[in-house]
């Protein structure tokens, strides 16, 4: 394998991994703060993808404006669902909360299938052309996705790791009751975490519509990989999720080149079973968390 | 019916077991006789699907309903059973051997999930089942002997009554088995695991082994249900067989009807098939959405399921009606 080819594959892997990272960041945030496995996460990716698709094809705006729009739309949808559904079931047994998010995902899937049909949708607008750097060809489309992902990911990490609000979120993740006793507003923090995570998912969906095709199940496919990453990274560990996303992106990229896309996915899932078997608490997670 | 409150008089549940079991067996026998009773093929198909969903639901109930370990893989396990049965029959195996192969393949496949994740508590098992569906779909589409993305067709033409009778036997047998299990000592051990696994282990219950055995039994049942349905459908397409819908049915049926009871999945299957039929004529595209909303409503507001909620409402109604009606009801027993 030549060096240029390797660079090319690394680049492809980074784009995939960065997008996956946005999804996984949200999943890890929700699990860490709310102890909820959000099966409906994928439907918000689909929401962002369709919203951007409609914006571009109906209103003829540039696709990248879909990212902030999807972010806000997703955050609003997340806030609404947290208020109306999830806050009512907090504290219930794990199985029930799991079923609630699963049911939400089924509702979303049904609505998207009904509203848009099974067609594959994509558009040609947006950044075009390639950037050539020492033989490595990178499409401006992928590059813009990578840059937007990195910026959003960095801002989120900054918010969670460096701000006072983020301190509250991390405190709740460590010990919910003690945080409440210290005066941290737990319900409001949960709302914030859920809205932010869902907003990120929708923004990721906007980017997915830019480099891929949009179908009612597009989010479902992404969120499965998101779960792989969250489990590998240690449930609820944000750094773990980001590292695992990039690693999975690279593995996927190289495996897709050496074999094909299906085998790359098969490999991913087998890797997950192996990881659960060998390190049940994830690569970076703490022992008690799973 | 297992209740978590020990206040329920034990004698009454024991006495109510046998008539219930007899009724279940009679119902299954009646439904199995449908091909010879001159019933319209529409009604027969409805009953068939009710039984298919009931069997899948009981299979899910056996593992997830009783232990609380949620499985998203039962659709995939049924799909594996269907493939195994059709491939075996196409290779000229006798019917019994083909069914055996279907159950065995599903059990072996379940061991992939069980062996890796059942040692752990909580969400690891659910995750492992979630990926399983996707993994199986990808693998089946890749392998040559499963026909790849095009699927396979059963070469032998079977009589119409055969899959119907098989499914009725499975549905009746599974329901009776779950009813008996709930009342056995093993059933109590399982309940202990569901309530507090650490405490259960402390009193000497081998939780991992019990969970693994239950999951294998549950997978075998799902495999058999899939096999019977494979004979009914006769042509298998991977994208249909391993779609999320089948796994959704397997868990929606017991959850809607009532988890960890033998009667719950029956109520759930009837409700599910009814909704599907009604929606097919009114709003065919909204079927998945409505089932999702129903599931959401049941889990949020009626988390014991429809069957238990109706039973409780009936008991309350009897209570309000004064002693006379209660005495009359007791006299009827």
Contact between A148 and A200 under an 8 Å Cβ cutoff? The reply is no
Query: What is residue A121's DSSP assignment?
Result: B
- Give the nearest partner residue to A110 out of B116, B255, B286, using CB atoms: B286
Residues 6+ positions from B154 with CB-CB distance below 8 Å: B86, B89, B90, B230, B231, B234, B235
Model confidence pLDDT, tens digit, residues A214-252: 888 888 888 888 888 888 887 767 888 888 899 889 988
Cβ–Cβ of B142/A263 closer than 8 Å?
Answer: yes
Q: What is the mean pLDDT of residues B215-226?
A: 92
In this structure, what token pair is assigned to residue B147?
A: 């026909």
Question: Percentage of residues in chain A with pLDDT exceeding 70?
Answer: 95
Q: What is the mean pLDDT of the segment spanning B313-324?
A: 67
Average pLDDT over residues B153-172: 85
Residues 255-274 of A with CB under 8 A from B: 262-263, 265-266, 269-270, 272-273
CA distance B72 to chain A (A): 10
**Could you give the CA distance from residue B217 to residue B107 in angstroms, rounded to a whole number?**
7
Q: Using the predicted structure, report yes or no on whether residue A288 has a pLDDT greater than 60.
A: no
First vs last Cα of chain B: how many Å apart?
17
Q: Which residues contact B17 (CB under 8 A, 6 or more apart)?
A: B179, B183
What per-residue confidence (pLDDT) applies to B307? 73
Mean pLDDT of chain A: 85
CA distance B166 to chain A (A): 31
Instruction: Mutation target for B interface from A119, A276, A290: give the one with most B CBs within 10 A.
Output: A276
Query: Across residues A54-70, what is the average pLDDT?
Result: 87
Distance CA A6, CA A261 (A): 17
* C-alpha distance from residue A4 to each of A8, A134, A140, B161 (Å): 6, 8, 18, 63
Smallest Cβ distance to A99: which of B244, B290, B295?
B295
Residue A118 reports pLDDT greater than 70 = yes
The reported pTM is 0.82
Q: What's chain B's average pLDDT? A: 81
pLDDT of amino acid B121: 63
Instruction: Output the pLDDT for position B257.
Output: 83
ipTM associated with this complex: 0.81
Q: How confident is the model at residue B226, as a pLDDT?
A: 92
Q: Which two tokens stand for residue A103?
A: 């049911």
The answer, for A290 touching chain B at a CB cutoff of 8 Å, is yes
Structural tokens at position A30: 């929700």
Residues in Cβ contact with B76 at an 8 Å cutoff, skipping those fewer than 6 apart = B109, B132, B133, B136, B137, B242, B246, B247
Counted residue by residue, chain B has a size of: 333
Band of residue B53 on the pLDDT scale cut at 50, 70, 90: very high
The confidence score (pLDDT) of residue A80 equals: 94
Report, as an integer, the average pLDDT of B117-137: 78
- Crossing angle of helices B306-320/B322-332, nearest 10°? 130
Cβ separation A98–B303 shorter than 8 A: no
Environment class of B331 (CB within 10 Å of its CB; exposed 0-12, middle 13-18, buried 19+):
exposed
A89 chain-B contacts, CB cut-off 8 A: 299-300
Contact B139 A266 (CB under 8 A): yes
pLDDT the model gives residue B332: 44
> 């693998």: which residue's tokens?
B139
- Band of the pLDDT at B259, cuts 50, 70, 90? confident
Higher pLDDT, B276 or A199: A199
pLDDT band for position B8 (50/70/90)?
A: very low
pLDDT band for position B283 (cuts 50, 70, 90): confident
Q: Which residues from A are below 8 Å from B255, CB to CB? A: 99
Q: Write down the pLDDT at residue B128.
A: 80
Per-residue pLDDT for A290 more than 50? no
Distance between CA A273 and CA A86 in Å, rounded?
30
Q: What is the pLDDT of residue A279?
A: 67
CB-based contact B256:B270 (threshold 8 Å): no
Per-residue pLDDT of A172-218, as tens digits, reads 888 888 888 888 888 888 899 999 999 999 999 999 988 888 888 88
> What is the arithmetic mean of pLDDT over B267-283?
85
Please check the confidence at residue B224 and state whether its pLDDT lies above 90: yes
H or E stretch at B153 = strand B152-153
- What does the pLDDT read at residue B108? 92
Contact A224/B at CB under 8 A: yes
Burial state string for B181-193 with b = 16 or more CB within 10 A and e = fewer than 16: bbbeebbebbbbb
**pLDDT value at B72 more than 90:** no
Chain B interface, best mutation among A27, A102, A286, by max B CB count within 10 A: A102
Residue pLDDT, tens place only, A6-44: 888 888 889 889 999 999 999 888 888 888 888 899 999
3-state helix, strand, coil split of chain A in percent (to 5) is 75, 5, 20
Confidence of residue B281 (pLDDT cuts 50, 70, 90): confident
Whether pLDDT at A282 is above 60: no
Question: Residue B326's pLDDT band (boundaries 50, 70, 90)?
Answer: very low
* A44-52 mean pLDDT: 92
Check: CB of residue B258 under 8 Å from CB of residue B307.
yes
When pLDDT is cut at 50, 70 and 90, the band that residue B15 belongs to is low
Cβ-based neighbour number of residue B104 at 10 Å: 14
Backbone angles phi, psi at A128, to 5 degrees: -130, 175
């Amino acid at each position: 394998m030549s060096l240029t080819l390797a660079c090319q594959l690394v680049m492809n892997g980074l784009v995939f991994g960065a997008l996956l990272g946005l999804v996984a960041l949200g999943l890890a945030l929700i699990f860490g703060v709310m102890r909820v496995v959000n099966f409906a996460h994928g439907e918000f990716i689909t929401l962002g993808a369709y919203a951007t698709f409609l914006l571009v094809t109906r209103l003829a705006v540039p696709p990248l404006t879909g990212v902030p729009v999807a972010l806000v739309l997703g955050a609003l949808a997340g806030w609404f669902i947290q208020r109306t559904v999830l806050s009512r079931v907090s504290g219930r047994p794990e199985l029930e909360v799991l079923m609630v998010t699963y049911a939400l995902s089924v509702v979303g899937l049904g609505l998207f299938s009904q509203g848009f049909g099974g067609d594959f949708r994509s558009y040609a607008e947006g950044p075009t052309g390639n950037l050539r750097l020492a033989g490595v060809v990178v499409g401006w489309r992928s590059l813009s996705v990578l840059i937007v992902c990195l910026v959003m990911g960095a801002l989120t990490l900054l918010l969670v790791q460096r701000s006072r609000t983020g301190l509250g979120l991390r405190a709740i993740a460590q010990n919910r009751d003690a945080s409440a006793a210290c005066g941290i507003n737990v319900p409001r923090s949960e709302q914030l975490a859920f809205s932010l995570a869902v907003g990120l998912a929708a923004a990721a969906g906007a980017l997915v519509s830019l480099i891929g095709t949009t179908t009612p199940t597009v989010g479902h496919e992404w969120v499965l990989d998101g779960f792989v990453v969250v489990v590998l990274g240690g449930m609820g560990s944000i750094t773990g999720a980001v590292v695992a996303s990039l690693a999975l992106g690279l593995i996927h990229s190289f495996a897709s080149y050496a074999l094909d896309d299906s085998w790359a996915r098969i490999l991913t899932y087998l890797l997950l079973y192996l990881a659960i078997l060998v390190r049940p608490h994830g690569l970076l997670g703490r022992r008690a968390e799973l | 019916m297992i209740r978590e409150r020990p206040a329920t008089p034990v004698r009454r549940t024991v006495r109510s077991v046998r008539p219930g079991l007899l009724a279940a067996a009679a119902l299954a026998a009646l439904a199995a006789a449908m091909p010879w009773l001159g019933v319209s093929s529409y009604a027969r198909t409805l009953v068939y699907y009710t039984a298919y969903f009931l069997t899948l639901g009981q299979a899910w109930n056996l593992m997830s309903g009783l232990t609380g370990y949620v499985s998203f893989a039962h659709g995939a396990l049924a799909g594996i059973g269907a493939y195994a049965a059709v491939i075996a029959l196409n290779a000229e195996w006798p019917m019994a051997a083909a069914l055996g192969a279907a159950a065995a393949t599903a059990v072996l496949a379940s061991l992939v999930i069980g062996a890796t994740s059942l040692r752990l508590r909580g969400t690891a098992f659910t995750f492992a089942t979630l990926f399983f569906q996707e993994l199986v779909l990808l693998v089946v589409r890749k392998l040559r002997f499963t026909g790849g993305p095009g699927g396979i067709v059963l070469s032998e033409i079977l009589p119409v009554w055969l899959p119907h009778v098989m499914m009725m036997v499975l549905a009746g047998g599974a329901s009776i088995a779950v009813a008996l299990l709930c009342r056995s000592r093993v059933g109590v051990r399982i309940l202990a695991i569901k309530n507090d696994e650490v405490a259960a282990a402390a009193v000497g219950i081998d939780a991992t082994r019990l969970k693994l055995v239950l999951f294998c039994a549950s997978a075998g049942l799902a495999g058999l249900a899939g096999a019977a349905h494979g004979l009914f459908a006769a042509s298998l397409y991977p994208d249909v067989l391993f779609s999320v819908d089948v796994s959704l049915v397997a868990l929606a049926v017991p959850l809607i009807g009532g988890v960890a009871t033998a009667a719950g999945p029956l109520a759930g299957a009837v409700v599910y098939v009814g909704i599907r039929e009604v929606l097919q004529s009114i709003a065919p595209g909204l079927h998945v959405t409505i089932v999702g909303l129903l599931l959401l409503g049941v889990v949020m507001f009626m988390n014991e399921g429809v069957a238990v909620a109706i039973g409780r409402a009936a008991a309350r109604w009897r209570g309000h009606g004064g002693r006379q009606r209660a005495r009359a009801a007791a006299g009827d027993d």
